[in-house]
């Protein structure tokens, strides 16, 4: 009994330590975003909170609203394009016994092993020749190419967990393959598809390297816009923290809204 109490106490202490380590940078960023430029360089918690930093980052010369709009458009368009394409590809890999299926699936996954710095220059040269540098279209194309293989792998696991009996029964009743996919498979795989969409959105929202290399001014996204807060005065930590909160909050809100689907999606693919 005593050993059990000690074990639970130790687990609680470890969990609290992990929570502190994980949450401390986020909490400190939030506190810094409410500080004045003078207080931003102090570790004291005795300061007058203000939302002025959030007003400043949307004003001249920072104009972070444009970067926010770019990030939203690029992430949204990537999800809209990548999820349907990845869903169809994942269903094909899961259900059709085509020749070279395993090799083709490995080739798709192997694209995730290539470091981004290796392919960023070919993308840059290609978009320069096409006249697409510093455009949102270029970022959408890159992010779709990056996220689609990962999303295919995720959704395929959920399709593999769906029993074939339900599809065969519907086809025996006269339903076409497309009708089976729309009315049987997709509703059962919805948690997994939503989970994949979340990851696709997060990966695109946080993408930095390609946005840094392929954009200059017009199509700059939020992560790249953070670099503008390095000035001759040094790093403007209070403004950088306010922009960091702006980047972080949508992800937290999105996770809270679809938490039920997120949890079901993460566990459904592991059960068959």
The answer to whether 108 and 149 have CB atoms below 8 angstroms apart is: yes
pTM of the model as a whole: 0.86
Among the ranges given (162-171, 190-199, 224-233, 262-271), the one the predictor scored with the smallest mean pLDDT: 262-271
The pLDDT of residue 32 is: 93
CATH class for the region spanning 62-268: mainly alpha
Q: Kindly indicate the confidence band of residue 54, based on its pLDDT and cuts at 50, 70 and 90.
A: very high
260 or 85, greater pLDDT:
85
**Domain ranges in the chain?**
62-268
Residue range 67-93: average pLDDT?
Answer: 94
Residues 6+ apart with CB under 8 A from 32: 40, 237, 238, 241
Q: Kindly indicate the confidence band of residue 97, based on its pLDDT and cuts at 50, 70 and 90.
A: confident
Residues 6+ apart with CB under 8 A from 150: 112, 199, 200, 203
- 3-class SS letters over 123-139: HHHHHHHHCCCCCHHHH
């Amino acid at each position: 009994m005593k050993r059990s109490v000690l074990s639970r106490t130790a687990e609680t202490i470890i969990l609290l330590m992990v929570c502190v380590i994980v949450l401390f940078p986020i909490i400190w960023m939030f506190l810094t975003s409410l500080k004045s430029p003078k207080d931003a360089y102090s570790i004291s918690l005795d300061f007058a909170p203000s939302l002025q930093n959030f007003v400043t980052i949307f004003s001249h010369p920072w104009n972070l609203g444009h970067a926010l709009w770019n990030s939203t458009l690029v992430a949204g368009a990537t999800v809209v394009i990548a999820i349907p394409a990845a869903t169809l590809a994942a269903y094909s890999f899961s259900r059709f016994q085509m020749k070279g299926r395993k090799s083709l699936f490995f080739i798709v996954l192997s694209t995730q092993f290539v470091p981004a710095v290796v392919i960023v220059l070919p993308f840059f040269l290609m978009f320069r020749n096409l006249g697409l540098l510093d455009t949102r279209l270029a970022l959408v194309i890159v992010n779709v190419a990056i996220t689609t293989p990962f999303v295919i792998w995720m959704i395929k696991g959920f399709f593999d967990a769906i029993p074939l009996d339900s599809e065969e029964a519907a086809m025996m009743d006269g339903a076409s393959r497309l009708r089976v996919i729309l009315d049987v498979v997709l509703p059962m795989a919805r948690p997994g598809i939503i989970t994949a969409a979340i990851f696709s959105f997060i990966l695109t929202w946080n993408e930095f390297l390609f946005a840094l290399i392929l954009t200059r001014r017009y199509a700059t996204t939020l992560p790249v816009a953070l670099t503008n807060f390095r000035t001759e005065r040094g790093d403007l930590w209070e403004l950088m923290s306010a922009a960091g909160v702006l980047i972080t909050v949508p992800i937290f809100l999105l996770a809270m809204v679809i938490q039920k689907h997120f949890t079901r999606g993460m566990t459904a693919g592991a059960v068959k």
